[in-house]
Amino acid sequence: MAQHNITISRAGFTSAFGVLAATLGSAVGLGNIWKFPYLTGANGGAGFLLVYVLATLLVGLPVMIAEITLGRQAKANPITALQALAPKRQPWWLIGAAGMVAAFLILSFYSEVVAWVFAYVVKALRGTILSSDRQVTEAAFSALISDPLQSLLWQWGVLVFIGGILLLGVTKGIEALTKKLMPLLFLLLLLLCAVSLSLDKAAQGLAFLFNPDFSKITASVVLTAMGLAFFKLSIGMGTMMTYGSYFRDDQNIPKTTLQVMSADLCVSMLAGIAIFPAVFTFGFAPAAGPALVFITIPAVFSQIPMGQALMVAFFVLAAVAATGAMLSLMEVPVVIFHERLGLSRPKATLLTIFLLAILGSGCALSNSTLADFKLFGLNLFDLFDFVSSNIILPADGIFIALFIGWVWGIDNFRSAVSNRGQLHNRSLSQGVFFLLRYVSPLLILLVMLKGLKLF
């Protein structure tokens, strides 16, 4: 087995199923339950969904395979990995460095959304939000986000919680727990879909989600959909490269990628089907933005027996899914601080948490104290989200694709993807290579230039 010559020993995933579960644990998170529905609602529904699926297939899939393959090949953090694989003095490691910046931006707002989920567990327990009256659920959400102290304390609570998991070294235990609980989240989403589909205006919700209005697909909608595809698959930031570095040498990378992508898409669709019928039935605005899930879900639960208990379960499971995704996001800066700066893992974790408590508070206060502080017309929460998802992740994607397509080359790629010839996937790896060399970089670049109105 190839052993990379970094002095720090690396633990790896031990079984093929473990690899799948961990990768899925990173992909499935608030991106499915919170971001996907809110962006679909804000960007016109079915047309957005269609572009999102296309972006996932044409760009997301090849880039994800690329990232995992590079990570497994180098068995190191993204910066060291690219230094090791690139010819001397070519600065491809900057991909890893940019990814680390994206990690901090994403974690800053992601930790705040996780904070809302945690706060909603408590609200659900108290029973105050179980209502189909939009006034009630909207008021509850805005009371939370416009209270600076609550927003901040919940966020720091989340950071301490996640930091604790990492410091206690119980990440494996948490991942095992996540693995067991995920099917429950899936079942609960199925139940929510059934309830939602029985509502009065279910047909209208489904039409919004599945019947595209092509006039709503503008360049910036396309960019947002592509950014979501990156965000959903945890690519363009080094997460998948880092996870790839823990992959076993006999793992079938394209197969795992395809499974993760399909399951991830499935969970997003279920969230969409659970939410949009309720949006139309109870008169919410599809374009309510980040609030959408938090105001709609209580209305759906208010329609069923034991709704309160089930809603508690829902937010607990959402918190579990979010924790898994957040651990994978934190893994990138922690491993980089650990392997590059020589800090011990606990010190690297503390440094990451400390930096996030500062940077993240800007996002926590975006709807209260700092509501009027705007750059490019966006508050810090939206700005961090925009810059990471719509600029850094896709840009990193371009360079990962270019690196494989034009520097690393077909022979290295084919050999790595086929596990040194053990898998017979020659035409598959050639197809992916073609996409990486010609299609993905151009497509991403075009979408970015148009979407950012630079062209």
Span near ligand TRP by CB under 6 A; candidates 23-31, 80-88, 139-147, 375-383: 23-31
Neighbours of 303 (CB within 10 A): 16
Q: x-or-dash pattern for ligand TRP, window 77-106, by CB under 6 A? A: -----------------------------x
C-beta of 31 vs 307, nearer to ligand TRP: 31
Q: Rounded CA gap, 269 and 275, in Å?
A: 10
**What burial letters (b/e) apply to 232-259, b meaning 16+ CB within 10 Å?**
bbbbbbbbbbbbbbbbeeebbbbebbee
Q: Per rule CB under 6 A, is residue 245 in the interface with ligand TRP?
A: no
Closest distance between ligand TRP and the C-beta of residue 71, in Å?
Answer: 13
For every residue of 265-322, DSSP letters joined together read HHHHHHHHHHHHHHHHHTT--TT-GGGHHHHHHHHHHTTSTTHHHHHHHHHHHHHHHH
In this structure, is the dihedral angle defined by the CA atoms of residues 316, 321, 327 and 330, taken in order, positive or negative? Answer: negative
The residue whose two tokens read 């086929």 is: 418
Residue from 110, 108, 113, 106 nearest 145 by CA: 113
Q: Which positions from 106 through 165 interact with ligand TRP, judged by CB under 6 A?
A: 106
For residue 295, give both structure tokens: 């105001």
CB of 409 to ligand TRP, least distance (A): 26
Q: Cβ of residue 389: shortest distance to ligand TRP, in angstroms? A: 8
Instruction: Tell me if 234 contacts ligand TRP by CB under 6 A.
Output: yes
Nearer to ligand TRP, 206 or 253 (CB): 253
Residue nearest to ligand TRP (CB): 31
Closest approach of ligand TRP to the CB of residue 248, in Å:
21
Q: Mask: binding to ligand TRP, 303-332, rule CB under 6 A, as x and -?
A: ----------------------x--xx---
Q: In this complex, which beta carbon is closest to ligand TRP, that of residue 34 or of residue 280?
A: 34
Site membership for ligand TRP, residue 405 (CB under 6 A): no
- Whole-number minimum distance, CB 174 to ligand TRP, in Å? 15
CB 38 within 8 A of CB 288: yes
Distance of CA 297 to the CA centre of its chain: 20
Q: Residue 30: CB partners within 8 Å, gap ≥ 6?
A: 110, 113, 114, 117, 318, 321, 322, 325
**Applying CB under 6 A, what is the total number of residues that bind ligand TRP?**
15
Q: How wide is the angle at C-alpha 24 spanned by C-alphas 18 and 25, nearest 5°?
A: 85
Q: Which residue, among 241, 254, 257, 251, has the nearest Cα to 430 in the 3D structure?
A: 254
26 counts as binding ligand TRP under rule CB under 6 A: yes
Decide whether 68 or 130 has the Cβ nearer to ligand TRP: 68
31 sits near ligand TRP (criterion: CB under 6 A)? yes
Which residues make up the interface to ligand TRP (CB under 6 A)? 26-27, 29-32, 106, 231-232, 234, 237, 239, 325, 328-329
